[in-house]
């Protein structure tokens, strides 16, 4: 393991979390609802549709990447396209902005798939949890950096103005690209001789994916893990997208106040990722995932009963720790279960479940929030986490084990 490569790999977590924080959580939903006349359901549909599209494309990309034995060209391409369309959102009307947001989010997640598949290269079997934790921790440091940079810009232009919101969309695109340059320039991959055409790679990949699906049916433990991830991420994706709108509509938080609170959440998530990385190496990824699900259910119950700013900060911080735990433990758990020569392809299936959860979670939450209330929408999150915990019972500790409950 080379420190330079670990740093470069983790720096991309820093870069893409800037997009997640400023675009997904803050300013895209805020821009759509407050300035373009959209609603939560439309916002949920944008993220749901983009993730449904990725769900169909990602396994093919993963398989092609395995055959080419290269990840970086995919990461570079999709990151650049994501930044371009993030930039264009600031100049669009409602329906164009929804379309551009869909494309940006699609490219963000497509790049993320290949980034995840780089983890085995920059780590060893013994420290994979630690390296994953460093990446997730760097991601939340990226969130803090983005808030620090955004603060003076908004203070000058205006916290809740159209000009300030557009400036944040442009800033997001620029920061994502600039911080991505670290991994672009440092991670070097060997270029293998081209033996087949792109068409043949695609045809072979589709055949391999079909065969993989057939094999997946015999790997009940892996299927259980994918379903567990599906329901966990249903809830987490909805939380990430609607966190600010929930705070604004339920507690009356302004953009400026939420900046301070979100920074606290980011610190909590960073600490959760750092310490759970070591915990994964010590007690196993499965137990860390179980603990995160239980924590989230407790958080949501408290949010249902108490809607004060203090409770929002405390429970949001606990939720931040739980998100850090989930993000840190998920990738090592998949690597424990996947065949070594199918790593990117299996990460593709992992991303597929994540994207399918991005369809159900945000759309259901957005519909319930727009049609009924945020309290009703929060109840759906409890159901998602409970289902995730139930499927986690049947996840083995390694690829070779049977699907026998461990705890």
Highest mean pLDDT among 140-149, 171-180, 196-205, 348-357: 171-180
* Radius of gyration (C-alpha) of the chain in whole angstroms: 20
Task: Using pLDDT thresholds of 50, 70 and 90, give the confidence band for residue 406.
Answer: very low
CA nearest neighbour of 115 among 17, 2, 204, 226: 17
Q: Is residue 202 packed enough to be buried (19+ CB in 10 Å), middle (13-18) or exposed (0-12)?
A: middle
Query: Does 186 or 67 have the greater pLDDT score?
Result: 186
- Stretch 239-262: mean pLDDT: 91
pLDDT value, residue 46: 94
Q: Fold for domain 3-187+199-392?
A: Growth Hormone; Chain: A; (1.20.1250)
Q: Residue 7: is its pLDDT beyond 70? A: yes
Residue 195's pLDDT is 58
Q: What is the pLDDT of residue 402?
A: 40
Query: In 3-state terms, what secondary structure has residue 194?
Result: coil
Query: In angstroms, rounded to a whole number, what is the distance separating the alpha carbons of residues 384 and 283?
Result: 25
For range 4-17, the mean pLDDT: 90
Q: How does residue 192 score in pLDDT terms, banded at 50, 70 and 90?
A: low
Q: Cα–Cα distance between 249 and 152 in angstroms, integer?
A: 25
Domain boundaries, the chain: 3-187+199-392
Residue in 382, 381, 376, 364 with CA at minimum distance from that of residue 44: 364
CB 78 within 8 A of CB 107: yes
Rounded CA separation 20/146 (Å) = 10
Task: Please give the pLDDT value at position 246.
Answer: 93
Report how far residue 98's alpha carbon sits from residue 80's, in angstroms, rounded to the nearest whole number. Answer: 19
b/e 151-164 (16+ beta carbons within 10 angstroms → b) = eeebeeeeeeeeeb
Q: What is the mean pLDDT of residues 117-122?
A: 79
Residue 401 has pLDDT above 60, yes or no: no
Overall average pLDDT of the 109-129 stretch: 79
pLDDT at 58 over 70: yes
Of residues 138 and 99, which shows the higher confidence score?
99
CB 237 within 8 A of CB 55: no
Check residue 300 and give its pLDDT. Answer: 95
Angstrom distance (rounded) from CA 326 to CA 392: 12
* Average pLDDT over all residues of the chain: 85
Q: What is the mean pLDDT of residues 27-41?
A: 94
pLDDT at 125: 64
What are the C-alpha distances in Å from 251 to residues 70, 125, 303? Answer: 47, 45, 11
Task: Indicate if the pLDDT at residue 83 is higher than 60.
Answer: yes
- Extract the tokens encoding 296: 């989230």
Q: What is the pLDDT of residues 234-250, one digit of tens each?
A: 999 899 999 999 999 89
The pTM of the full predicted model, rounded to 2 decimals, is 0.81
**Distance, CA of 96 to CA of 284 (rounded, Å):** 45
How does pLDDT run across 323-359, given as a tens digit for each residue? Answer: 888 888 887 888 777 776 666 667 667 766 766 777 8
Write out pLDDT tens, residues 270-309: 788 778 877 888 888 889 999 999 999 999 999 998 888 9
Residue 15 has pLDDT above 90, yes or no: yes
Q: What is the pLDDT of residues 203-235, one digit of tens each?
A: 766 776 677 667 666 666 778 888 999 999 899
Position 343 scores a pLDDT of 67
């Amino acid at each position: 393991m080379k420190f330079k490569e670990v740093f470069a790999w983790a720096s991309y977590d820093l870069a893409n979390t800037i997009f997640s924080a400023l675009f997904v959580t803050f300013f895209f939903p805020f821009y759509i609802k407050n300035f373009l006349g959209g609603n939560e359901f439309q916002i949920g549909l944008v993220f749901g549709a983009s993730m449904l599209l990725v769900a169909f494309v990602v396994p093919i990309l993963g398989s092609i990447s395995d055959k080419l034995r290269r990840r970086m060209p995919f990461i570079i391409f999709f990151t650049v396209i994501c930044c371009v369309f993030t930039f264009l959102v600031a100049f669009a009307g409602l329906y164009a902005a929804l379309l551009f947001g869909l494309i940006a989010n699609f490219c963000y997640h497509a790049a993320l798939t290949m980034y995840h598949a780089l983890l085995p290269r920059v780590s060893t079997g013994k420290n994979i949890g630690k390296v994953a934790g460093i990446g997730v921790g760097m991601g939340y440091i990226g969130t803090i950096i983005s808030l620090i940079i955004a603060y003076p810009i908004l203070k000058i232009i205006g916290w809740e103005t159209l000009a300030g919101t557009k400036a944040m969309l442009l800033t997001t695109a620029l920061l994502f690209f600039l911080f991505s340059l670290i991994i672009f320039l440092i991670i070097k991959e060997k270029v293998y001789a081209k033996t087949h055409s792109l068409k043949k790679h695609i045809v072979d990949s589709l055949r391999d994916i079909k065969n993989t699906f057939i094999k997946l049916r015999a790997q009940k433990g892996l299927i259980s893990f994918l379903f567990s991830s599906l329901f966990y991420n249903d809830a987490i994706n909805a939380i990430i997208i609607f966190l600010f709108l929930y705070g604004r509509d339920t507690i009356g938080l302004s953009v400026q106040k939420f900046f301070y609170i979100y920074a606290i959440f980011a610190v909590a998530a960073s600490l959760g990722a750092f310490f759970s990385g070591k915990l994964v190496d010590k007690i196993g990824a499965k137990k860390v995932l179980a603990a995160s699900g239980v924590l989230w259910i407790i958080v949501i119950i408290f949010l249902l009963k108490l809607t004060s700013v203090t409770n929002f900060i405390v429970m949001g911080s606990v939720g931040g720790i739980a998100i850090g735990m989930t993000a840190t433990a998920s990738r090592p758990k998949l690597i424990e279960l996947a065949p070594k020569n199918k790593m990117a392809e299996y990460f593709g299936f992992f991303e597929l479940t994540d994207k399918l959860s991005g369809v159900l979670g945000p759309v259901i939450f957005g519909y319930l929030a727009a049609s009924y209330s945020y309290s009703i929408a929060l109840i759906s999150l409890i159901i998602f986490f409970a289902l995730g915990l139930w499927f986690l019972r049947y996840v083995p500790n390694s690829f070779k084990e049977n699907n026998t409950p461990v705890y």
